[in-house]
């Protein structure tokens, strides 16, 4: 059956709808929706209303997140570096910390690469150090821009080795590890 056009220009299928669903039903007066109960149901007598609430700041939503290594060692140690070998920041080094490090142009990023507008402000990529295996990985972030490792696209978490070349935007970075087979923070 062919589509039908209502007086307001909307098309609809008359075999599915008796009138235009986009226009709604004229003259229909629907009362305000009301809750089934005026109050929430009472708690069982053996459960205290505050039983699931934290007793101090340890469980607050707005408390800062602390990485496992930082919490264990009481410091946030350097585990490696990225050294800019080509681009606006040529000659500059960027510290890599344990666990995940976000890369972008914004100063809110763990690794802030200024001057390259081909790099997204936030989360263009991330580089991570796994303290349990002493391995480093690069992975793309939430950016449209690509990440290259030794001239190959890194489109999933990819392990990186000493002196690998990472290309982000128009910037080339050399990876220099500190932690690995010769040293680890304890």
pLDDT tens across 97-131, in order? 999 999 999 999 999 999 999 999 999 999 999 99
b/e per residue 5-29 (b: at least 16 CB within 10 A): eeeeeeebeeeeeeebeeeeeeeee
More confidently predicted of 103 and 55: 103
In a domain, 2, yes or no: no
In a domain, 148, yes or no: yes
User: How many independent structural domains does the chain possess?
Assistant: 1
The strand pair at 147-149 and 165-168 is best described as: antiparallel
In a domain, 14, yes or no: no
Residue among 128, 99, 113, 130 nearest 173 (CA): 113
Residue 66 clears pLDDT 60, i.e. is over it: no
In a domain, 159, yes or no: yes
In a domain, 35, yes or no: no
Q: Which pTM was predicted?
A: 0.62
Domain extent for 81: 77-177
In a domain, 111, yes or no: yes
């Amino acid at each position: 059956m062919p589509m039908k056009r209502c007086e307001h220009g909307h098309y609809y299928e008359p075999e599915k709808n008796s009138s235009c669903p986009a226009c709604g039903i004229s003259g229909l007066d629907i009362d305000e929706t009301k809750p089934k109960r005026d109050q929430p149901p009472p708690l069982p007598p053996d459960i205290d209303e505050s039983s699931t609430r934290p007793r101090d700041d340890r469980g607050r939503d707005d408390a800062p997140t602390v990485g496992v290594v930082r919490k264990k060692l009481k410091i946030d140690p350097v585990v490696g570096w990225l050294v800019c070998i080509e681009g606006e920041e040529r000659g500059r080094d960027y510290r890599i910390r344990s666990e995940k490090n976000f890369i972008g142009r914004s100063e809110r990023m763990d690794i802030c690469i200024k001057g390259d507008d081909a790099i997204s402000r936030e989360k263009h990529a991330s580089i991570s150090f796994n303290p349990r295996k002493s391995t480093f990985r690069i992975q793309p972030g939430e950016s449209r821009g690509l990440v290259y490792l030794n001239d190959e696209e890194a489109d999933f978490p990819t392990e990186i080795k000493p002196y690998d070349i990472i290309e982000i935007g128009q910037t080339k970075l050399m990876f220099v590890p500190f932690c690995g087979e010769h040293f680890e923070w304890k």
